[in-house]
Homo-oligomer: A and B are copies of this chain.
Amino acid sequence: MNQQHSASDTAYEKIRDAIFEEKYERGEKLTEVKLAEELGVSRTPVRDAMRKLEEEGLIKDKRVINPTIKDLMNTFDVRMLLEGFAVRQAARYMGPDRIEGLQRCVETGKQGTTEEIMEANKEFHDIIVRASNNDVLIDTIERMQSVIFLFRRTVVYHQRPRLIEEHEAILEAIQNHEEDQAESLMKSHLKKDLDFSIHSW
């Protein structure tokens, strides 16, 4: 059923995770041969992986990105636009399955482990994004995920206050079909994430 991972895919995942775990420092030059040796594959799949990582913005000019505050703000400005739009569609109509999904995310946010909370936080936003029913929008946010993840670790590991309550309020607006309210809440929610990320930078 599930096609097995190719060497390119595993190379991609390993390099990506190594960047997340800061095994490779910010700004470090990544060379194909070095990575190929470390992963025990040839340069070809490594090249594929690096191209994908460049696409996602995790690598730039063969170097691990070292995002500035401005990059962070730019990313969030785009997120606010896209997720603000998405949550409007969600408020217009969202099926019971997805509503339940959001409720579960809130639950986990209240009583899960740190790792579970991070996952639930991401899933909450993912469900709303998918509710946009716009593949272009979905793909665009998907591509931003890696960079966002780099920042989200900060936010959740430091346990930003009121995060779950805000999710709850957004969910309520969705259930009540309050589009304006949902968009407004989502944007201020993301704005707080941004501010929190900047201050704990």
Residues of A within 8 A of B (CB): 48, 51, 55, 57, 71, 74-75, 77-78, 81-82, 85, 134-137, 140, 144
Cα distance A51–B57 when bound, in Å? 16
Given contacts A55-B55, A81-B82, 18 further A-B contacts (CB under 8 A): A51-B51, A57-B136, A71-B135, A71-B136, A74-B134, A74-B135, A74-B136, A74-B137, A75-B136, A77-B134, A77-B136, A77-B137, A78-B136, A78-B137, A78-B140, A81-B81, A81-B85, A140-B140
- When distances are taken between beta carbons in the complex, the residues of chain B under 8 Å from A51 are 48, 51
Binding site secondary structure of chain A: helix
- When distances are taken between beta carbons in the complex, the residues of chain B under 8 Å from A140 are 78, 140
Q: How far is the CB of A122 from chain B (nearest CB, A)?
A: 19
- When distances are taken between beta carbons in the complex, the residues of chain B under 8 Å from A74 are 134-137
Write the chain B residue with the least CB distance to A147. B136
Cα distance A82–B137 when bound, in Å? 11
Write the chain B residue with the least CB distance to A54. B55
Q: How far is the CB of A200 from chain B (nearest CB, A)?
A: 21
